[in-house]
Amino acid sequence: MRLSVLDQSPISAGSTCADALRNSIDLARHAERLGYSRYWVAEHHATPMLACASPEVLISAIGAATATIRIGSGGVMLPHYSPLKVAENFSMLSGLYGERIDLAIGRAPGSDPITAYALQRDRRTAGPDDFPDQLTELLAYVNDAMPVTHRFARLTKLPGGAVRPDVWLLGSSPQSGVWAAELGLPYAFADFINPVGGTDIAAHYRTHYVPSPEHPKPRVIAAVWALCADTDEEAARLAASSRMAFTLFLQGRLIPVPPVETALQFVEEHPAEVDALGRRRRWLVGSAATVKPGIEEVAAEYGADEVMIVTITFDHAARRRSYELLAHAFGLAR
């Protein structure tokens, strides 16, 4: 089974956004050495917990620091942008780094409503809900498939030349699976955001898949949250930082990733709130012997070709160690 990394560039308390971005580059090098298949970076705005507001900028730095691992967005939040600008950005990345580039597209804002509004170029009215049209236009640029009669037909001559990024659709709801199937796109489902009904969505996607020239067969990635340590007890202790941060996030209170001791105290003082988070999200936490069967179960449930791992810890070394233990457990090729 292929394993990959989804990096949200976590910012730990007492560190800076720049530290988090440098950690992302370091982790990408580490993941490549360990044998992970691809490394995607997420887009988030105006949060003290997650650093990457511009995936294409971070992808370029990671591309320069690596040689073989696939790299890309997980994802670009298309409603904020012009499809042509996104196509040009990722065409340039493909020109620089060849066929390693993935362009995974999301519909979510990656922010709160005020930030999403601030990202709009035209603020006279609310942004239109035209994601399917945006996605269709983007694919026409990337695949050089704009109808010759279209007024944008000549714009498919992108700066990166003949090498084009591989386009994926991200999702955590039924509608995203419908669009991915209709457009013949590979599909990455965010189980770490919404595990409820995800397997049914993936099954519907496969059943209704319409082959495309770029992707004759359906492909599914299941993205899960996992944290691995040398023992179950140590993993549970390290996971307290994320449990505290995400419990507060769901209450609208945004903080950097807290130190473990601070988080353990929070978990002890707010057991009901933390337990509620556990019921809403799937957490795979423990030693490699504990976490590996959980990942395999998720892959089987989704019929996934690949599992993408999201891990957040306060200490960067602990995050590196988590990915290292999983790579060894699955026998990834270095």
**Do 205 and 176 form a contact (C-beta atoms < 8 A)?**
no
Helix (H) / strand (E) containing 106? strand 101-106
Closest CA to 308 of 100, 47, 8, 87: 8
Domains belonging to the chain, first-starting first, are: 2-232+284-330 (3.20.20.30)
**Do 20 and 11 form a contact (C-beta atoms < 8 A)?**
yes
Q: Is the pLDDT of residue 112 over 70?
A: yes
Q: Is the pLDDT of residue 32 over 70?
A: yes
Q: Please tell me the pTM assigned to this model.
A: 0.95
Residue range 69-78: mean pLDDT, rounded:
96
- Provide the pLDDT for residue 165: 97
Question: Any alpha helices (H) in 257-315, and if so which ranges?
Answer: 260-269, 271-280, 288-302
Strand partners, 106: 77
Task: Kindly indicate the confidence band of residue 334, based on its pLDDT and cuts at 50, 70 and 90.
Answer: low
What does the alpha-carbon distance between residue 174 and residue 200 come to, in Å, rounded to a whole number?
A: 9
What does the alpha-carbon distance between residue 102 and residue 331 come to, in Å, rounded to a whole number?
A: 24
What does the alpha-carbon distance between residue 40 and residue 101 come to, in Å, rounded to a whole number?
A: 10
Give the 3-state secondary structure percentages of the chain, helix then strand then coil, rounded to 5. Answer: 50, 15, 35
Task: Kindly indicate the confidence band of residue 172, based on its pLDDT and cuts at 50, 70 and 90.
Answer: very high
What does the alpha-carbon distance between residue 313 and residue 238 come to, in Å, rounded to a whole number?
A: 7
Residue range 168-177: mean pLDDT, rounded:
95
Q: Is the pLDDT of residue 326 over 90?
A: yes
Q: Is the pLDDT of residue 59 over 80?
A: yes
* Average pLDDT along the chain: 94
What does the alpha-carbon distance between residue 157 and residue 30 come to, in Å, rounded to a whole number?
A: 35
What does the alpha-carbon distance between residue 149 and residue 196 come to, in Å, rounded to a whole number?
A: 44
Say which residues have a Cβ less than 8 Å from residue 159's Cβ, sequence separation at least 6: 88, 91, 92, 95
Tens-place pLDDT, residues 244-299: 999 999 888 999 999 999 999 999 999 998 888 777 789 999 999 999 999 999 99
Residue range 59-88: mean pLDDT, rounded:
96
Percent of the chain with pLDDT over 70: 99
Between 1 and 65, the higher pLDDT residue: 65
Strand partners, 5: 39, 309
